[in-house]
Amino acid sequence: MEPLLRDTYAEINLDNIGYNVRKLKEIVGKDVSIAAVVKANAYGHGAVAIAPTIMENGADMLAVATLTEALELRNYYSDYKIFIMGYTPDEYLEYVVKNNITQTIFSLRQAVLINDLSIKYNTISKVHIKYDTGMNRIGYKDSQESIDEIVKIFNLKNIDVEGIFSHLALTNREEDDKQYERFLNAVGKIEEKEKTFKYKHICDSISAIDYPEYRLTMIRPGAIIYGMKSYEDDSVIMKTALKFKTKIYQIKELQPGEGVSYGYRWKATKKTSVGTLPMGYADGYPRIRDSFVTIHGKKAQIIGVINMDQCMVDLTDIPEAKVGDEVIIYGDGTDNTIDIQGMADLLNTNKNEILCRLSRRTPRVYIKGGKVVKVLNYLLQE
C-alpha cells in the first residue's frame, strides 16, 4: 500500500458507496438499468478506485463526460461498459471506436464517421442519441427534421443505436413534465418507424427519486451515489461517502492585538490559542471567511485569510487540542461537523462543485470494513 505522505486527505468509504448503489437498484427495480455517473473523477471520489465497488453493487455501466475520462477507466477496466455523455470532436472518434466506448452523438455526420471507423476496425460501435427537450445544451433540437435524421442513423450497418436520452432543466414540475412529454413524443415517432432503443433515459439523481414515472429503462445517477441529497423525498436516505480530514501541526498563543495571516484581517482581542492546519485552497477548500472545522467534536472557527497551503483556527475553547490531533474539515453533518451541503450553502453553490474542488494533490484514502484498503496519491502516479 502506498504511504499517505500528507496529513490532509479525503477519506472515501467504499461500503457506503456500495450501499448507495444497492439501495438505488432496490428503489428503481430490476427492469431499470443504472448508468453510474463518475465524471469529474467521480465527483472527487476517484473514478478508477471506486469503479469496481459501483459495478459490483448493481450498476450496468459507467458514465463520464469526456473522452479522456473514458480512456482513464478503459486503461484499468477492459470489460466495463463505458458511456461518454458529452461531445467528442471528430478527430478523436477513432479512440472511441478502438476502445469499445459508447459515444453520445447528435448528428448524422458523426454517425457516419463512427460507422466508417467501425468498418475499418471490424467492429460494431454503440451510440446514444442526445435529444434536446429544453435544456438547450447539446443534442438534436426537438423537430421532425431531427427525428427523420435519427431514423437514418439506424440504417448504418456498423452502428448500434443503443440508446436515446435527454436531460431535464429541473426548473419546476410543470416545465419538467413538458420536457418529458417532448421526449416521449420524439421517441414514439422514431419507434413508429420500427426503430427501437434498448435504453431510454432522462433521469438524473434528483428526478430518479422524485419522478419515478420518468425512469423509463435507465437512469443516470451521480451525486446520490456519493450520498448527496438534492431530491425532495425524505424517505430515501443515502450514506455520505466522503470525509475531508487533516491534523493540527502547530499551536501558538497570541496576545491581544496580534494578527493572523495576510492583511491581518483577523486580530486577537484577547489571549488566543491558534492552531495551524496544513490545508488550503490548493487542496480544494474554498477561500471563505466564515467557516469552521471540527476538533474533538467541537467547532473551531477558521480565522484570518485562508492561504493556498495552510489555514489557522481558533483553539481557545478547545484546550485539550494538541499537535497531531485529527481535524474534520467536511464530515457528515453530525458531531458538530459541517457537511458538503453546509459548505455549499455558505458559498451559495451546489454540493457537486464543492466535491469537484478537491484537488489532485489531496490524497484519497479508501476504507472498507473499517480498514484502510487503498491509499491513492495522484502526484506519485506515473
Annotated binding site for substrate: 137, 308
Chain centroid offset of residue 181 CA? 28
243 carries an active-site annotation: no
Q: Can you tell me the distance from the alpha carbon of 150 to that of 129, in angstroms, rounded to the nearest whole number?
A: 8
- Amino acid sitting at position 378: Y
Q: Count CB atoms within 10 A of the CB of residue 19.
A: 17
25 carries an active-site annotation: no
- Residue found by looking up cell 502516479 in the block: 381
* Known binding positions: 137, 308
Q: Cβ(203)–Cβ(215) under 8 Å? A: yes
Rg (CA), the chain: 24
Chain centroid offset of residue 46 CA? 9
What b/e sequence results for 225-250 when a residue is b if at least 16 CB atoms lie within 10 Å of its CB, and e otherwise?
bbbbbbbeeeeeebebbbbbbbbbbe
CA distances from 358 to 125, 176, 322, 342, 376 (A): 34, 32, 26, 16, 13
Adjacency order of strands within the sheet including 292-295: 250-254, 272-277, 311-314, 298-303, 292-295, 326-330, 242-247, 9-13, 364-368, 371-376
Choice among 262, 271, 322, 378 that is catalytic: 262
Q: Cβ(32)–Cβ(218) under 8 Å? A: yes
Q: Can you tell me the distance from the alpha carbon of 314 to that of 318, in angstroms, rounded to the nearest whole number?
A: 8
Q: Can you tell me the distance from the alpha carbon of 8 to that of 252, in angstroms, rounded to the nearest whole number?
A: 20
- Residue found by looking up cell 447528435 in the block: 106
Choice among 39, 81, 126, 245 that is catalytic: 39
- Residue found by looking up cell 461500503 in the block: 15
Partners of 272 in beta bridges: 254
Nearest CA-CA partner of 281 in 343, 208, 222: 343
Q: Count CB atoms within 10 A of the CB of residue 303.
A: 23
Q: List active site positions.
A: 39, 262
